[in-house]
């Protein structure tokens, strides 16, 4: 049965059923598929480096793979050391933060007492009841914390293993993908594989540039405003900005929290203004030229992808949803019958003014010749 000749409602129903089944499989295999996809992205990033080691320096495949793993581990260790040193400095100011929030809390209590006629003793009773309920569930909190730690450790372990396997057996995987389809589709499959590899590499490089530029701009803004731990907050903002729309909001709340605890309430207003300026620069200058040109996904499906990714894979899904949609878009654009879905995921094509003006002038010239 030819799928393209089926009625639209039948095709649409089959697509919906396939998406539901695919979503169920993705949610069921979260612990395996999430680190596998991240390892695939990082393997595409390190592929030119590994190829250089093998072709130019004559390294064996296993040695080039382990060298790539070593470089990635050095980078991750540097990030962990940076955040650890910054957090150790931050811990020294915890007593000052505590005094600041006690003062703010007392002022808030008096304001609630004056506005809602709730005595301070009654407010403390409500807080004690809430704390007792929280402490009674301490076993659940401990189990949740241990679960997060064990899940994160397993994620990193699976990620490293998959990274080694994908980079080491990349030729076998590529040959399998190309030969598993019919011979007449071989050229199209090779084009799709090549485009996915190029897009993934360019997207991750562009994303790293975006993180760096946003971190530098945020560091400058927070330093001018006078917020403590400007570098730590700037790097955190750059990393969270990978999550479209939501990341900048989360980092803004964290920065306002630190600015309020270590400065004055007016500092928070300056921080909000500075973050809005950074976001405008990022959205209109950095993103189109550094990342947007590599992955043209419209804002609607970017936001839907974030929601679905968080529902399926949690925080990892929020980071991985955009490259996943970009890969799906490339595949759709090169498969007969799926081109409309590829256009649906992309941005609206702007008409070329030069070509349009050229056609108009050409028509006028022809009319004059007639």
- Quote the pLDDT of residue 173: 84
Measured over all CA atoms, what is the biggest interatomic distance in the chain, rounded to whole angstroms? 95
- Give helix 230-240 / helix 246-262 axis angle, nearest 10°: 160
pLDDT in tens, 175-185: 888 787 777 77
pTM greater than the 0.85 cutoff = no
- Quote the pLDDT of residue 171: 85
Rounded to whole angstroms, how far apart are CA atoms 297 and 305?
10
Cβ count near 208 (within 10 Å): 15
Tally the residues of the chain. Answer: 370
Residues of the chain with pLDDT under 50: 134-146, 148-149, 365-370
Query: Which residue is listed with tokens 């804002």?
Result: 299
Q: 125: burial class by Cβ within 10 Å (0-12, 13-18, 19+)? A: exposed
Rounded to whole angstroms, how far apart are CA atoms 33 and 308?
15
Rounded to whole angstroms, how far apart are CA atoms 107 and 114?
11
Rounded to whole angstroms, how far apart are CA atoms 53 and 48?
9
- Specify whether the CB–CB gap between 333 and 342 falls below 8 A: yes
pLDDT in tens, 302-348: 888 888 888 888 878 888 888 888 788 877 877 777 778 888 887 76
Question: Cα 157–37–72 angle (5° rounding)?
Answer: 55
């Amino acid at each position: 049965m030819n799928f393209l000749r089926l009625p639209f409602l039948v095709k649409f129903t089959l697509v919906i059923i396939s998406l539901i089944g695919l979503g169920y499989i993705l949610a069921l295999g979260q612990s395996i598929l999430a680190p596998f996809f991240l390892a695939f992205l990082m393997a595409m990033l390190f592929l030119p480096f590994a190829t250089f080691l093998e072709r130019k320096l004559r390294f064996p495949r296993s040695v080039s793979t382990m060298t790539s793993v070593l470089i990635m581990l050095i980078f991750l260790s540097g990030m962990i050391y940076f955040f650890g040193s910054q957090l150790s400095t931050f811990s020294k100011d915890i007593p000052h933060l505590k005094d600041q929030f006690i003062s703010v809390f007392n002022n808030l209590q008096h304001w609630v007492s004056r506005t809602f006629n709730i005595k301070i003793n009654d407010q403390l009773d409500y807080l004690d009841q809430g704390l007792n309920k929280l402490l009674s569930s301490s076993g659940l909190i401990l189990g949740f914390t241990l679960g997060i730690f064990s899940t994160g450790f397993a994620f990193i372990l699976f990620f490293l293993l998959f990274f080694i396997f994908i980079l080491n057996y990349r030729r076998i995987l590529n040959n399998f993908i190309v030969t598993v389809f019919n011979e007449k589709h071989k050229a199209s499959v090779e084009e799709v594989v090549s485009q996915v590899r190029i897009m993934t590499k360019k997207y991750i490089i562009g994303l790293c540039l975006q993180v760096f530029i946003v971190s530098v701009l945020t560091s400058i803004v927070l330093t001018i405003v006078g917020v403590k731990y400007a570098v730590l907050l700037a790097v955190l903002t750059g990393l969270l900005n990978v999550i479209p729309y939501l990341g900048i909001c989360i980092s803004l709340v964290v920065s306002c929290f630190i600015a309020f605890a270590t400065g004055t309430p007016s500092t928070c207003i300056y921080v909000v203004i500075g973050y809005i300026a950074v976001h405008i620069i990022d959205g209109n200058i950095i993103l189109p030229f550094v990342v947007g040109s590599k992955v043209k996904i419209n804002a609607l499906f970017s936001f839907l992808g974030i929601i679905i990714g968080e529902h399926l894979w949690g925080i990892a899904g929020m980071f991985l949803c955009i490259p996943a949609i970009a890969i799906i878009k490339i595949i759709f654009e090169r498969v007969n019958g799926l081109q409309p879905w590829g256009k649906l995921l992309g941005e609206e094509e702007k008409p070329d003014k030069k070509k349009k003006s050229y056609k108009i002038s050409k028509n006028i010239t022809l009319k004059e010749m007639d």
